[in-house]
Amino acid sequence: MEYKDDLWQELPEKVSPEKLPEGGGKTRLRQCFIPPCKHASPNKLHILEKTIKHEDLANIPVLIERSIYQIYCNACDHHFFLILERQFDKEMLAERNNSTEYLRGMNPVRVYAADEKNNILEEIGWFRDFD
């Protein structure tokens, strides 16, 4: 499978453990989040696929957008997912013709890792778009 490593440029290099990050993050994203491996050489970690999913539940006031990056670790030969979760206020979206672009940067972005069965491997941290 062909690597899509250009997509690393869409991701922050590091994220912060704080929900309202001040200053730079601490945790490097380009590492393996599979517990026994935890390999940290960036050149061992490759993006295979990116998908975006939206969750719009009637009883909650936010639209949840998940950018899901499938990562292959060349050190342990396993796959996992890096997931960036953004929330958008539905009323504000409606005022902006439902374009999420205008609302990026308003809320911190949650970043976590999940395995192929959708079990969370690690809550990695937070960042803010445009910081």
Tell me which residues touch Zn ion (CB under 5 A).
Answer: 32, 34, 37, 39, 73, 75-76
Total residue length of the chain: 131
H or E segment to which residue 120 belongs: strand 120-127
Nearest distance in Å: CB 72, Zn ion: 9
Closest CA to 33 of 119, 109, 126: 119
Nearest distance in Å: CB 34, Zn ion: 5
**For Zn ion, the closer CB: 66 or 78:** 78
Strand 27-28 and strand 14-15: pairing? Answer: antiparallel
Tokens in use for 35?
Answer: 């517990």
Nearest distance in Å: CB 91, Zn ion: 42
**What is the spatial distance between Cα 121 and Cα 62, in angstroms, rounded to a whole number?**
25
**For Zn ion, the closer CB: 77 or 91:** 77
Nearest distance in Å: CB 8, Zn ion: 16
**For Zn ion, the closer CB: 78 or 128:** 78
